[in-house]
Structure 1
C-alpha cells in the first residue's frame, strides 16, 4: 500500500474524489464499483479505516471515519456505501485471534462484506456446518471474504442459549469462493453497490473463523473503537454518507441558481428572492443536521475513550442522531431537486442520480421511523436518551 506518510483519511478521500466522479456513470451502468475505484480505495488504505492498528489498520476515531465517507459520497454514493459497509465489517477483526485476522485482512484485497442476520449453523466437531442464503451484502463484489450472523444450534439441533437465555448468535466468516453470489440488486438507487445475495451449501466453518460480534467480553483489542460496536458504527457511517449526498446536491443547486435564467422569468435565479430564501433555509437545515450528528458522535467518543464503556444512553443518542440526520438529508436533497426544475430530470445533470441514491439510503435500516418510536418510549418512561 503506497500511502504518503502524514496524509489522513479525509485528505486521501478528497484526493481520489475526481476519479470517483469520472467513474460514476460506469459504476451506475455496471452496478459495480469499477476496478479503478476499488484499486484507489485499496491503494489509499480507506478500507482499513476501522481495522485495528495491530493489523496495520488506521483504527480511526468516528469523526475521521465519518468525514472520509462524506467526501467519498459527494463524488459517488454507491462507492461511499460500499466503503462504509466493508470498513465496519472489518471491526470484527478485534474479536478474532491475530493470525486469523491477519489471514483475512492482510491477504489482498483484504475486504470483508456481510448481509443481514438470518438462519442457523449447527455445531459439529471443530466448528459449524451451514446451508443458507443471505441478502443485502453491499460491497460483496469487491470482497475476498464474506460473513454471516447466524443462530447456533447444538449437535442435536436444539438452539444454544446465552447465559441470559437469549439465542447464541455468532458471525461466521468464509472465503468468497466458498459461496455462490446471486445478482439480484436491481434497485432505483445506490445501483452500483452490488448489494447482492449469497449462498452456501453444507459449508464447514472452522471454529477460529467465527466470533461474537459486538460482545465486549469477546474483544481481543483494547481500543475504545471496538466497544462502540458495528451497529452504531454503521449508523454513524451511513448518516455521514447521507450528508455527503445532500451536500453535493445542494451545491449543484446553488451552482445552477447562480447561472440559470428561468424560462419566462424577468431575472436570473440568483436574483430571485424566493430562491435566495430557500437556499438560505436549506443551508441552515443541512448545517444543523451535520452539527447535531457530529456533536453526538464526539460527545459519545469522549466518554467512551475516557471510561471504556459504551453506555445505553449514548447508543440511543447515536441512533436518534443518525436516523434524524438521514431524514434531514433527504429533505435537503428533495428541496435541491425541486429547485432545479426540469433540469433535474436529465441523467446528464448532477441531480437525478443523487435523488435516487438519497431515497435508497432513506429506505435502509438506519433510517427507520421505528427508531424514533424507541426513543420516544424511553423518554415517556422517564429514561434519559
Structure 2
C-alpha cells in the first residue's frame, strides 16, 4: 500500500512533545527556541513538511501539516508557531530554480524565515539591490536564510507591474549572515518565537533568488500543494496551532478538576456547574476542529481532482481558519477561568497558554475583517 506524502510527520511530532515540553521554560525565558529543540525538529524532517519531494521534502497534504503542528502546539505554542512559519516559507522552493532551492534548503540547517510585506527594491543588471528593514520574522533566529516580499522599481524609477496592472511583488532571498538582526520581540505571548526585525544595506540579490511567489505562471513544481496560496496555508497552520493550544489548556483544566477541591466548596469533579461547563467547552473545541479539518479536506479533494483553487475555496479556508482561531481563544478563556486562582501561577502553564493564545488571536490570520470579506462575497451572489 502506498503511503501518503508526509507519512510519519505526525508520529514524529508526537514523539518529540516530551522534549519540547521539557524545554518550554527555557524557550520562554530566552525568547528563542533552544538548540535541542531545533536540532530535533531538523533531524526528524519537520521543517521540510511542505518542501517539494524533488528537493527531498515531504510535500505533505495540508491535513498532515496541520496535525503535525497540533501535536507540537500541545507541548509549546512558540515552537509550533516557528515550525509553521518556516515550513510555509519553504513552499517558495516551488518557484525557484533547482540549484537556488538546493542551496537554500539542502545546505544545513536549511531553514528560511521572513517578515511582513514591505518596501521596494531597485532592479539592476542581474538582479536587485535592497536597503530596508522588515519586522515580524518568526523563526528568524534559527534560519540560515531570510527573505522579504518587496515591490520592484525599474531602473527609470517606475514601479514594475503585472499584466493586470497591479504592482509586481517578489520574494527576495539572502543568507541570514547578510542581515543585521534587531532584538525587539518583548511581548506578552508567543515569547519564544523570536519574532524579531532584520535589515540589509545595499545588498545585491541575484535574479535566481527573487521568486514570483504565488504566481501560477512561475511555478516549477506540479504538485497540488503549490496551487494553494501561502496565505491560505499559513491560516490552516496557525489555526491548527490554536487548536493544539486549546486542547492542552482544556486537558489541563480537566485534570485539575479531577483533583481540586476549592475551600468551602465541593470537589470540582462533583460540581454540576463544572461538569456542564466541561461538556460545553469540549463540544465547542471538537466542533471547531472538525470544521477546520473538513474544510481543508474538501478544498484538498477538489484541488487534487482538477488543480484549480477557486475564490470560493479561498473564502472557505479564510472563514474556517479565522473562526477556528477565535473559537480556540474562547476555549482557552473558559478553561483558564475554570481553573480559578490556580491559573495565575506560572508553574501550572495555564497563564502561558492564555498569553500565547491571545497573541495568536492578535495576528493577521485572525482579523475580524476576514468575516467582512466572506460576508461581502455571500451577499454578492
1:3-22 to structure 2, matched below 5 A, reads 8-22=8-22
1:345-384 to structure 2, matched below 5 A, reads 345-382=344-381
Aligned to 2:144: 144
Q: Secondary structure at the match of 1:157?
A: coil
1:69-94 per-residue CA deviation (whole Å, 9 max, x = no partner) reads 00000000000000000000000000
Aligned to 2:62: 62
1:1-385 to structure 2, matched below 5 A, reads 8-265=8-265, 267-382=266-381
Checking the alignment, whether the CA contact within 8 Å between 2:6 and 2:49 is kept in structure 1 is: no
Checking the alignment, whether the CA contact within 8 Å between 2:10 and 2:68 is kept in structure 1 is: yes
Gap regions ≥5 residues in structure 1: none
Q: Secondary structure at the match of 1:110?
A: coil
TM-score, reference length from structure 1 = 0.97
1:274-317 per-residue CA deviation (whole Å, 9 max, x = no partner) reads 00000000000000000000000000000001101111100110
1:109-128 per-residue CA deviation (whole Å, 9 max, x = no partner) reads 00000011000000000000
Gap regions ≥5 residues in structure 2: none
Query: Cα RMSD (Å) of the superposition?
Result: 1.0
Q: Secondary structure at the match of 1:348?
A: helix
Identify if the C-alpha distance between structure 1 residues 126 and 304 changes in structure 2 by more than 3 Å, giving closer, same or farther.
Answer: same
How far is the alpha carbon of 1:161 from its aligned partner? 0.8
How far is the alpha carbon of 1:7 from its aligned partner? 6.0
Partners in 2 of 1:50 and 1:297 — Cα distance? 15
Partners in 1 of 2:212 and 2:264 — Cα distance? 63
Checking the alignment, whether the CA contact within 8 Å between 2:253 and 2:335 is kept in structure 1 is: yes
Partners in 2 of 1:283 and 1:350 — Cα distance? 19
> How many equivalent pairs are there?
377
How far is the alpha carbon of 1:6 from its aligned partner? 9.4
How far is the alpha carbon of 1:145 from its aligned partner? 0.1
How far is the alpha carbon of 1:350 from its aligned partner? 2.2
Partners in 2 of 1:368 and 1:56 — Cα distance? 35
Checking the alignment, whether the CA contact within 8 Å between 2:6 and 2:60 is kept in structure 1 is: no
TM-score, reference length from structure 2 = 0.98
Q: Secondary structure at the match of 1:11?
A: helix
Q: Secondary structure at the match of 1:200?
A: strand
1:158-208 per-residue CA deviation (whole Å, 9 max, x = no partner) reads 111111100011000000000001000001000000000000000000000
Partners in 1 of 2:123 and 2:105 — Cα distance? 26
